[in-house]
Amino acid sequence: MLQFIRDGGPFMWLLLAASVLALALVIERGVALRRGLVIPAGLLDALGRFGGRGDVAALDRACLEFKSPLGALFQHALQHLDRPRQDNAEALQTRARREVARLERGLVVLESIVGVAPLLGLVGTLHGLITLFGDLGTAGLGDNAVLAKGIAIALNTTLTGLLIAIPALVAWSYYTKKVESLAIEMESACAELLGRAYPVPVPAPQPA
């Protein structure tokens, strides 16, 4: 394995660093984006018991107990119940964008690796071929087997770049879709909270 990396030249070391970074991001996002950490079931249960402004303290305690992005949004909404519903909803949307951005943290780097790894592998291959043909131009073409082996070694970086990019692309697509799904669930829960906190008054019956 070490010889394979050495044969790939300096660009293989860059690809190795990219693979380590991609693996670290995949593991970190896999842990951070667990549904139980973003949208705790206990917090949804507390929302189900939330009957209006008289239950603010109970819901706030649940937010402190189940610290999460959804809990941060609930606390933000509860702190602005003195505002009209529209103002509170707009403030909540601003805070929600910040929480979603935190959920997406690292995904842009993973996306960059998806694009950069194959290109880096191609550059490594070109570098290897240029070196190979430069040596052949100096020493002359003596053995076709040596030429074939040199080309195969040069292609190692392209293969490595693709082997890094393909799993990274799968992980990036999966996590992007998961963040989108979690954002929709949080939006739905926040809409339910506002609906309970700002009930629509029932119109009085008109006299016959």
Please write the tens of the pLDDT for every residue from 22-79.
999 999 999 999 999 999 999 999 999 988 777 889 999 999 999 999 999 999 999 9
pLDDT at residue 142, as a whole number: 57
Q: Looking at the domain assignment, is residue 13 inside a domain?
A: yes
Q: Looking at the domain assignment, is residue 200 inside a domain?
A: no
Q: Looking at the domain assignment, is residue 74 inside a domain?
A: yes
Q: Looking at the domain assignment, is residue 202 inside a domain?
A: no
pLDDT at residue 188, as a whole number: 94
Alpha helices (runs of H) in 54-155, residue ranges in sequence order: 56-65, 69-78, 85-103, 107-139, 144-154
At 110, which amino acid appears? L
Q: What is the pTM of this model?
A: 0.83
Q: How far apart are CA 202 and CA 138, in angstroms?
A: 92
Ranges of the chain whose pLDDT falls below 50? 202, 204
Selection from 19, 13, 2, 48 nearest residue 124 by Cα: 13
Q: How many domains does the chain have?
A: 1
pLDDT at residue 205, as a whole number: 57
* Residue 105 DSSP one-character state: T
pLDDT at residue 141, as a whole number: 54
Q: Looking at the domain assignment, is residue 204 inside a domain?
A: no
pLDDT at residue 54, as a whole number: 79
pLDDT at residue 130, as a whole number: 79
Tally helices (H) and strands (E) across the chain. Answer: 10, 0
pLDDT at residue 153, as a whole number: 74
* Residue 68 DSSP one-character state: S
C-alpha to C-alpha distances, 206 to 199, 200, 201, nearest whole angstrom? 21, 18, 15
pLDDT at residue 50, as a whole number: 87
Domain that holds residue 57: 2-195
